[in-house]
Amino acid sequence: MSTDPNTEPDDDQPDRPDAPLPKRRVLLLAVIAPLVLALDLVSKMIAVENLEGRDPVELLGGLLYLPLIRNTGAAFGLAEGWTVILALIAAGVVVFILWIARRLRSVGWAVGLGLVLGGAMGNLVDRIFRAPGPLRGGVVDFISVLDPWGNVFPVFNLADSAICVGGGVIVLMALLQRDYDGTRVEKNPSGKKAGA
């Protein structure tokens, strides 16, 4: 095993205190987040262009519908009308992820945070630039499962999907006791956490 700190060990999460740190994973985050943002923005442009003023489009025999809804609340229809506060929270999430990115050394965390960052930026762009005005814009939602108007499951978009999947990856990493900086979090007999 090389002692070069830029060489990735066999296990992405070193278990020995003297093991070299894994490579930084900022590049992985920097690829995933803009890709999610681009896919989200393009899908929303296509949805607005093709679904505005139309009844929901049925796909896959009613498994999916494509309605066009402007959501000024949070996910699942919560916090309706709190657009300014939600925009500021999303901006805070973006800033926080960018702040911890400099210490990011875990592939799992890079994937999870990249998905959350791209999704948060996608919905933030809607809140800033869509009508009725800055920080008050409605997020474009256009995917509905089993019902044309979200009566079975709330209407969502690709950014929402990325945030949910990224959040799931982050929870999984936490359950596996893997930290974003490449360390493994273990409990000492005293009950205090210690990085390996």
Contact 183, 195 (CB under 8 A): yes
| Three-class SS state of 7 | coil
- The crossing angle, in degrees rounded to 10, of helices 158-175 and 107-129 is 150
Torsion angle of C-alpha atoms 76, 78, 83, 86, degrees rounded to 10: -80
Neighbours of 135 (CB within 10 A): 15
Pick the catalytic residue from 141, 147, 179, 181: 141
Whether residue 160 lies in the annotated active site = yes
Pick the catalytic residue from 11, 160, 179, 181: 160
- The crossing angle, in degrees rounded to 10, of helices 26-51 and 107-129 is 40
Whether residue 141 lies in the annotated active site = yes
Write the single-letter amino acid at 163.
I
In the block, residue with structure tokens 């920080």: 135
CA distance linking residue 136 with residue 192, whole number of Å? 44
Q: Catalytic residues, which ones? A: 141, 160
